[in-house]
Every structure is written in C-alpha cells, then in structure tokens.
Amino acid sequence: MKASGLGTACVALAASTLLATSAQAARADRSVFGTTPGGQSVESVTLTNAKGMTVRILAWGAVIQQLSVPDRHGHVDDVVLGFDTLAPYLGKEPYFGASIGRYANRIGAGKFTLDGKAYQLSINDGAQSLHGGTTGFDHKLWTIEKVTSGPEASVTLSYTSPDGEEGYPGTLTARATYRLNEKNELAIDYSATTDKPTIVNLTNHSYFNLSGALSGKSIMDQLLTIPASRYTPTDAGLIPTGEMRSVAGTAFDFRKPTRIGARVTDGHEEQLVLAHGYDHNWVLDRQGSGLSLGARVEDPATGRVLEVWSDQPGMQFYSGNFLDGTIVGKGSVIYRQGSAMALEPQRFPDTPNHPNFGSARLDPGQTYMHHMRYRFLTSAK
C-alpha cells in the first residue's frame, strides 16, 4: 500500500526523533583494563554522555580511574588523579578514586565496642585504622553486576566482605552504582547489608584538580565552599576529640568561597600544623534527610565547577598534604603536595567511639545507603 504524504512525514519524524534520542543517549562500554599477577582479569566500564563527559570505573576497588569534563571553552580534561595502567593500583597508593570500606576515615587505635563486645581492627596508619584497614575495599576485585546505556549510563559493582575481614564483624555485601546523565552529573549510590551487627561507612576517594590532572597546577588558587558552621578538631593522630568546634574566625571557615591556599600555611592554627594542611571533617549544615550540597569548588582559570551533593552528615576535606613527589601518575606527572584535593562525604571519623556523633551501626535486615553526586558546571570568566 502506498504511504500518504502525511504517513511518510510521520515515519520520517519518528526516524529523526529516534536518531536524536540515540545521539543523546549516554553510553556504557565494557573492556579489560589489565590483569593481576594472579591472572585475574580486571575489567573497566566507561560511561560517556553527549556533553563531553567521560568516566571510567575499574572493577579493582570500584575505582574512578578517569573523569573528563569540559571547561568554559569546551576543552575537555581529565580532572582526577590516578594511573594509566593497573599495576600501580595494586600496590600501596593513596586511594586514588577508590570506593572506601568498610569504614571510611579513621578509627582510633582500631578499636570499637558493639553490644558489649570489643573489636580490634587492623592498624595501618600509625596507631589507627584507616579506610578499612590493611586491605580495604579499595584493594579488592569487585564483581560487575550490571551495565546499562540509555538516558543514564550506569554500572553496578559488588563486593562481599567475609565475617572477620580486617577485624570487622559480620559478612557484609556492598554495592556501588555509578550513573552518568546528560547534565554532567555522576551519581554514586552505595549500599550494604550484613548478617551480623557491624559498622559501615562507605564513600569515594577521588582526588580532584579542576585545572586538569595533567596540568601540573596546584589547587591552592581554586575556590572552595563548604556549608558548615562547625568542624571536628583532632588530636595528633588525626582522631576527632569529640568536640564540634565553630569555624567562625578560624582557617576552617569556608562558608563563603575561599582560596584553598589562603590560610593553609597559617602556623598559628594548631589543627593545620597537626595535619600538615587540611585533613578534617566538617559538620554540614544540613536540613532534611535528602541530598544537600556538601562542597563546591571553582577553578577561576578554566571555569570548571564541581559540586558535591550527599545525604551524609559530614564532609572530609583533604588538601593532598601527603602527596610528596614520590608518586608518578597519569602521563608521567609527578604528584606533589597540593596537586589535588579529596572531598569525601561520609559519617564522621571515629563515630563508633563518640556517641554524640550519631551511629554507624548496621543490623541484619537493614540496608545501609549513601547517595552522593558529583555535579560539573562551568562559570563565566
């Protein structure tokens, strides 16, 4: 039967709509990134949208290995530190892009008590337990469960931590889902379930430099905002004292956009001396239980802006103090102090030992959830 002119037009419109929708669909591509010395294949999934943003996630550590975004002129750069190959991720490195667990940040002396029973975690940071212990989730091979393309490109990975691993009670099954949309937003959803009472605190540990990971430029001229009226000062071991101190009149007041380097060398601020810069948790001025802004960074030179949104109560800001020039990263760039910053939304450090910090407890039948989002924008010059 011969199509009418109207029918032909409708077919053409439908075809053009399909092509436009397809062109705008975010894409997920799966490939092999490397192989462990034991012969295990480590896959990666690359998420790409039509706006020029690309994110590569590794099955090793559920790591963000690459995160490329455009600047105000449309020039695209990778803005996270890391390595070009798998081998350096397998060794001792500062958690570049990793998913952190079971407990992000520090637990004093690696000790906590749950239901009257004392637990001793592995010690890997002076006298403390840091980021899950000697072999945390960052050094585990996660399983890629699902990969999708469409309006959002996504990948879901999982890791099951056995009872007693690193000293933690209970078999914990953790999942990380990364979702990229056409608004240049990367959402990360962490979840976990357990078969015994335990503690959990999951986050991502990407190191950002909005000038570009290969630029060699310092983050110290970038502008940081943290909407928090209080922070948690620490002792010499970088363990919170339990106090929630006002940021007013201190080097920790980022309630308005402030150059990161403006006060970082203030020798009169004891907390900066103890941590060799910023490595502290801010008590976010949250309202409600949903996503809220936890931090905003702007690079005046490129116009790139990063907003970190989360449903967690705290924001750990680390100014890269212990990048000491001994690590050679992507493109043979040497990573030095100030090469990047980490912004880690999470429950407070050492929460299990400070009742006033809330609870990090997870019981059987419950599901731990942490929703976070990296939103990338550009500002005018």
Could you give the CA distance from residue 370 to residue 312 in angstroms, rounded to a whole number? 7
Could you give the CA distance from residue 338 to residue 85 in angstroms, rounded to a whole number? 23
* Distance separating the N- and C-terminal Cα atoms of the chain: 59
DSSP state of 139: G
Handedness of CA 239, 202, 122, 139 (dihedral sign): negative
Amino acid in position 162? P
User: Which residues are catalytic, by number?
Assistant: 205, 344
Could you give the CA distance from residue 88 to residue 99 in angstroms, rounded to a whole number? 16
What DSSP assignment string belongs to 285-319? Answer: ---SSS-EEEEEEE-TTT-EEEEEEESSSEEEEE-
Helices (H), the chain: 5-24, 87-90, 270-275
Handedness of CA 374, 203, 310, 257 (dihedral sign): negative
As to burial, measured by CB atoms within 10 angstroms (0-12 exposed, 13-18 middle, 19+ buried), residue 43 is: buried
Comparing CA positions, the residue from 272, 265, 329, 261 lying closest to residue 297 is 261
Residues 6+ apart with CB under 8 A from 38: none
Cα 135–137–140 angle (5° rounding)?
80
Q: What does the block give as tokens for 9?
A: 């037009």
Comparing CA positions, the residue from 94, 128, 64, 84 lying closest to residue 318 is 94
